[in-house]
Amino acid sequence: MAIDAATVRKVARLARLRAPEERLEPLAQELSAIINWIEQLGEVDVEGVEPMTSAVHVKLPMREDVVTEGGDPAKVLANAPLARDNFFVVPKVVE
């Protein structure tokens, strides 16, 4: 399965990565090489095999649905690129 420049553009958009036009073709070639190499998994018979989603055989623990920590906006905002009045300042989303 070869990946073309249009697919790279689409995937880059999905991943919110700006890929310059001139990089699309080289990226398509690199990604195709990796995907072609991955295609060898097609040889493996996985009929009836349960997908492995975790390396541990432990049921996910549940805890009480209560607030355990919080109430410290200064800490939450400490690394914000832009903050004002205990809020993150972000670019305008809705016109």
Partner 1 sequence: MSDLTSLTLEAAVEGLKAKRFSSLELTQAHIQAMESGRALNAYVLETPDKALSMARAADARIASGAAGPLEGVPLGIKDLFCTEGVRTTACSKILGDFKPTYESTVTTQLWRDGAVMLGKLNLDEFAMGSSNETSAFGPVANPWRAAGSNQTLTPGGSSGGSAAAVAADLCLGATGTDTGGSIRQPAAFTGTVGIKPTYGRCSRWGIVAFASSLDQAGPIAKTVEDAAILLRSMSGHDPKDSTSLPVEVPNFPSFVGRSVKGLRIGVPAEYSAPGMPAEIQALWDQGVAWLKDAGCEIMPVSLPHTKYALPTYYIVAPAEASSNLARYDGMRYGIRAEGKTLTDVYELTRAEGFGEEVQRRILIGAYVLSAGYYDAYYLKAQKVRRRIADDFAKAFETVDALLTPTTPSSAFALGAKDTMDPVTMYLNDVFTVTANLAGLPAMSLPAGLDSQGLPLGLQLIGRPLEEGTLFSVAGALEKAADFRAKPRAWWRG
Footprint of partner 1 on this chain (CB under 8 A)? 3, 7-8, 11-19, 27, 30-31, 33-35, 37-38, 40-44, 46, 49-56, 58, 60-61, 63, 75-76, 78-82, 88, 90-93
Is 43 in a helix, a strand, or coil? helix
**Distance between CA atoms of 12 and 3, rounded to whole angstroms?**
12
Smallest separation (angstroms) from partner 1 to the CB of 24: 11
Exposed, middle or buried by CB within 10 Å (0-12, 13-18, 19+), for 8?
buried
Residues 6+ apart with CB under 8 A from 80: 88, 89
Q: How far is the CB of 73 from partner 1 (least distance, A)?
A: 11
Q: How far is the CB of 61 from partner 1 (least distance, A)?
A: 6
Give 25 or 82: the residue with its C-beta nearer to partner 1: 82
